[in-house]
Amino acid sequence: MQKKRIGLSFLNPEQELIHGQGDTVLETLVKHGIPIKHACTNGVCGVCLTPLLSGEIDYAEKQPHGLNDKEKQNGYFLPCIAACKTDIVIGKPKVTLR
Ligand code: FES
């Protein structure tokens, strides 16, 4: 299977990570030391909320309970339960680390 890429549009210079097979997007970000706030890692709390700028993600059998309709419409997703379906580009996570 071809490896998927995660583009990080909010870094300067922009960076690209290889999405680890079997990992969630969140796990890939954390492994590469990308700052992203997270808590439940189960799609419930909404803390990891991040804009998906392009590409498709896959929640498999998980449900993004931490995402309301408005956030969905605005293109946000929950990296803690999402895998890459295609190469994706993401924006800056909504909740910033303190
Ligand atoms: S960490 Fe709670 S929804 Fe992602």
- Res 97: pLDDT: 73
- Res 1: pLDDT: 63
pTM (2 d.p.): 0.94
Domains in the chain, CATH or no CATH each: 5-90 (3.10.20.30)
Atom of ligand 1 nearest to the CA of 80: 4
Ligand 1 center–CA 81 separation, angstroms: 8
- Res 72: pLDDT: 95
Does residue 64 have a cis peptide bond before it, meaning omega lies within 30 degrees of 0?
A: no
What is the CB < 6 Å shell around ligand 1? 38-41, 43-48, 66, 78, 80
- Res 85: pLDDT: 96
- Spatial neighbors of 18 by CB under 8 A, at least 6 apart, are 3, 4, 5, 6, 28
Mean pLDDT in order along the chain per 10 residues (98 residues): 91 94 96 95 97 97 96 97 97 86
Residue to probe by mutation, ligand 1, list 27, 29, 47, most atoms within 8 Å of CB: 47
Atom of ligand 1 nearest to the CA of 43: 3
Cβ(51)–Cβ(72) under 8 Å?
no
